[in-house]
Amino acid sequence: MKDRINLLKCYDADFSHSDDRLVSIGRDLNMWSVSEGRKVWRSHPLSHPSTCSFSDDASRVVVKNTSGEIRLIDSATGLPAANFETQVLGEGSNIIWFADDRYLIDGSWSGYLAIRDAANGRIVWYREYPDEMITDIYTNRKKSIFISRVAPTIHSKKTRPYFLLWSLPFSDADAKMIDMSTYNIDEAAFNSDLSRVAVIHSKKPFRFAVYDLNSHDELWKMKLSSYGPGTCLAWTPDDEVISVIDNNRVNFLNARNGKIIADFALPFACKVQYSNSMKYLAICSWEKGMLLQTDHVLDSLR
């Protein structure tokens, strides 16, 4: 692979489990060959796509747009999968694969949390949270448990977001509430086993902190120079590094103590995605995203 590959304007990206493919979305859905450094195909299955994700077996890509429409795409051809229904619940969270690619899970800003059959798109289980929004879905590395982030609307009696931890079989009784409402959390990212959470506190002075999810103890914190729509968090698959986008620069931090290991300047950067092996990383940008070899950025970790 070249030192860096221009991913064009993109808002989200995901690597296949084997690292040989990368899918990204901007206006279109683009499939890239990582080793060859070239675009394999371009597709436009939906207007205004906002999030995308590879299935674990890399045979399919799910894409969702800002209206809540969902399409299942054949990763080899870029064509929509046949017999896949979209039950639209409105704009909302990202969408994830779950339980060995059997389910797709997403949420809406109208308060719906939905679990869909990945084979046909039909909703097999859902819960509604009146006057609240499902803003984000997180899962562990094995995709055996997931966390939904629930945030209040202007009509809600609740004033701050909270998290719900879910596992199979799904029922309200099995959802464990993780109440971190006193922390003024605006952005969050969980490590691979969901034992730690990195958060951005949205009230001034803006700061970034890491907490133990069981005890809620603050492990360390640091100040941010700014906070805005491009601020984003991501853990490496081995949980050793956390990236945080701050003022058009991606800072790579030691996850144990917050020490800055490296940084990378990219105008309008908005998301960081690591490959499963950590060999590659994609930095999305509203101007021009980049596909990079991780060790070229994190030299001090070699």
Reply yes or no on whether the pLDDT at 302 is more than 50: no
Q: What is the strand order of the sheet 70-74 is part of?
A: 49-54, 60-65, 70-74
Per DSSP, what are the bridge partners of residue 25?
A: 12, 29
Residue with tokens 């371009």: 42
Tokens of 216: 């809620």
pLDDT of 253: 94
pLDDT of 214: 87
* Region 184-302: CATH code: 2.130.10.10
pLDDT of 70: 95
Q: What is the strand order of the sheet 92-98 is part of?
A: 92-98, 103-108, 112-117, 123-128
pLDDT of 191: 96
Nearest to 239 by CA among 197, 299, 186, 183: 197
Instruction: For residue 42, give every residue at least 6 positions away whose Cβ sits within 8 Å of its Cβ, in sequence order, or none.
Output: 28, 29, 30, 31, 78
pLDDT of 92: 94
pLDDT tens string 53-64: 999 999 999 999
Reply yes or no on whether the pLDDT at 128 is more than 80: yes
pTM: 0.92
**Cα–chain center distance at 79:** 23
pLDDT of 231: 67
With 0-12 / 13-18 / 19 or more C-beta atoms within 10 angstroms meaning exposed / middle / buried, residue 173 is exposed
pLDDT of 221: 92
How many angstroms separate the CA atoms of 88 and 174, rounded?
Answer: 26
**Taking a C-beta distance cutoff of 8 angstroms, is the pair 152, 139 a contact?**
no
pLDDT tier, 108 (very low <50, low <70, confident <90, very high otherwise): very high
pLDDT tens string 194-238: 999 999 887 777 788 999 988 889 999 988 876 665 568 999 999
Any idea where the domains of the chain sit in the sequence?
Answer: 184-302
pLDDT tens string 132-149: 999 999 999 989 999 999
Flag the least confident range among 21-30, 154-163, 211-220.
154-163
Output the average pLDDT for the chain. Answer: 90
**Taking a C-beta distance cutoff of 8 angstroms, is the pair 63, 73 a contact?**
yes
